[in-house]
């Protein structure tokens, strides 16, 4: 049974889902953009017989508190610090982590600071290599190198309904994606201040790429068991990013799935079985 909880972390109410037996190994599920912990709604029931599962919403996402961007620093470093404090508050210091999209830099920043916490990693379209960056990142580099208000505002297209639906459906078979996930994501975009906090994070994403060498060093130094399971048709984080993990970690399995960015929408049962087989 999934429980829906809220905990106060540094003055912020953080929402999270929890399921499974607390005596079993813990797995932390770090969601991506523009989603929240509801992206794991199909995966959690498939894994709760084997893991104690915790899926938080970051500040500014989902059901967690969303402070004004002028009063709260929306950077990936800051979100990772909040998530680290979240884990400490729950007395979680040994866990597997499932990282997707934005969840990859957040999770890997925690892993760099606390390598002893990490029992293993599932990276589902969670990129930490230049090889995994799709063509859209070239235009973002132009924005990062020469930021203007006009360029910043152009990225409002990243959370338009058409874009969000495209993220879910691109690279999938016709009629295979439920509207539930993307319609909830679209609903969240109407929250007060949503645009500014997400634009802040889009600008800050450049610092995740600068951190890639640190993430790769963590892998080389610690050699965690890592399952790279990838929607191979994802145009944002392309599948060479999955293969690239083998450059630094000898304990890697790569599984390419015939799906897109949100592979859980079509292959939750398949991904769950791969996780159970690997760990």
Catalytic entry in 38, 52, 69, 261 = 261
Task: Tell me the pLDDT tens digit for each residue of 22-44.
Answer: 999 999 999 999 999 999 999 99
Q: What whole-number distance in Å separates Cα of residue 88 and Cα of residue 143?
A: 36
Task: Tell me the pLDDT tens digit for each residue of 70-97.
Answer: 999 999 999 999 999 999 999 999 999 9
Quick check: 192 pLDDT over 90?
yes
Residue 254 confidence class, pLDDT cut points 50, 70, 90: very high
Structural class in CATH, domain 3-278: alpha beta
Q: What is the pLDDT, as a whole number, of residue 267?
A: 98
The number of residues in the chain equals 279
Contact between 57 and 12 under an 8 Å Cβ cutoff? The reply is no
Q: Is 8 left (phi over 0), alpha (psi -120 to 50) or beta?
A: beta
Quick check: 139 pLDDT over 90?
no
Can you tell me which residue has the tokens 């997400």?
A: 198
The model's pTM is 0.98
Non-local CB neighbours of 148 within 8 Å, separated by 6+ positions: none
Question: Burial of 16 by CB count in 10 Å (0-12 exposed, 13-18 middle, 19+ buried)?
Answer: buried
Q: What is the pLDDT, as a whole number, of residue 28?
A: 99
The pair phi, psi for residue 252, each rounded to 5°, is: -115, 135
Decide if 261 is catalytic. yes
Quick check: 53 pLDDT over 90?
yes
Domain boundaries, the chain: 3-278
Helix (H, G, I), strand (E, B) or coil at 75: coil
Query: What are the angstrom distances between the C-alpha of 25 and each of 50, 82, 93, 96, 106?
Result: 7, 22, 11, 8, 21
Task: Tell me the pLDDT tens digit for each residue of 241-253.
Answer: 999 999 999 999 9
The DSSP result for 95-125, as a single string, is: EEEEE-TTHHHHHHHHHHH-GGGEEEEEESS
Contact between 62 and 38 under an 8 Å Cβ cutoff? The reply is yes
Quick check: 225 pLDDT over 90?
yes
Question: Within 13 A of 144's CA, how many CA atoms are on the CB side?
Answer: 15
Query: What are the angstrom distances between the C-alpha of 144 and each of 136, 156, 205, 235?
Result: 13, 15, 9, 20
Helices marked H in the chain — which ranges? Answer: 43-47, 76-89, 103-113, 136-145, 149-154, 161-169, 179-188, 194-222, 240-243, 264-278
Q: What is the pLDDT, as a whole number, of residue 138?
A: 87
The pair phi, psi for residue 106, each rounded to 5°, is: -65, -50
Give the chain's mean pLDDT.
97
């Amino acid at each position: 049974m999934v429980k829906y909880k809220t905990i106060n972390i540094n003055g912020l109410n953080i929402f999270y889902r929890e399921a499974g037996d607390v005596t079993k190994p813990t797995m932390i599920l770090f969601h991506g953009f523009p989603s929240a912990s509801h992206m794991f709604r199909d995966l959690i029931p498939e894994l709760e017989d084997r893991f104690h599962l915790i899926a938080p919403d970051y500040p500014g996402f989902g059901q967690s508190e969303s402070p004004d961007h002028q009063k709260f620093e929306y950077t990936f470093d800051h979100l990772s610090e909040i998530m680290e404090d979240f884990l400490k508050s729950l007395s979680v210091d040994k866990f597997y982590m499932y990282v997707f999209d934005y969840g990859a830099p957040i999770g890997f920043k925690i892993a760099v600071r606390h390598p002893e916490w990490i029992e293993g990693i599932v990276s589902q379209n969670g990129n930490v290599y230049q090889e995994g960056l799709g063509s859209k990142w070239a235009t973002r580099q132009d924005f990062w190198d020469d930021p203007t208000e006009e360029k910043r505002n152009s990225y409002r297209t990243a959370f338009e309904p058409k874009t969000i639906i495209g993220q879910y459906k691109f690279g999938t078979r016709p009629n295979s994606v439920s509207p539930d996930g993307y319609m909830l994501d679209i609903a969240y975009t109407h929250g007060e201040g949503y645009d500014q906090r997400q634009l802040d994070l889009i600008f800050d994403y450049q610092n995740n790429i600068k951190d890639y060498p640190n993430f790769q060093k963590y892998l080389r130094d610690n050699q965690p068991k890592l399952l790279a399971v990838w929607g191979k048709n994802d145009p944002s984080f392309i599948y060479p990013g999955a293969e690239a993990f083998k450059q630094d970690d000898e304990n890697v399995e790569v599984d390419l799935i015939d799906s897109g960015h949100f592979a859980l929408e079509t292959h939750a049962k398949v991904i769950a079985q791969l996780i159970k087989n690997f760990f």
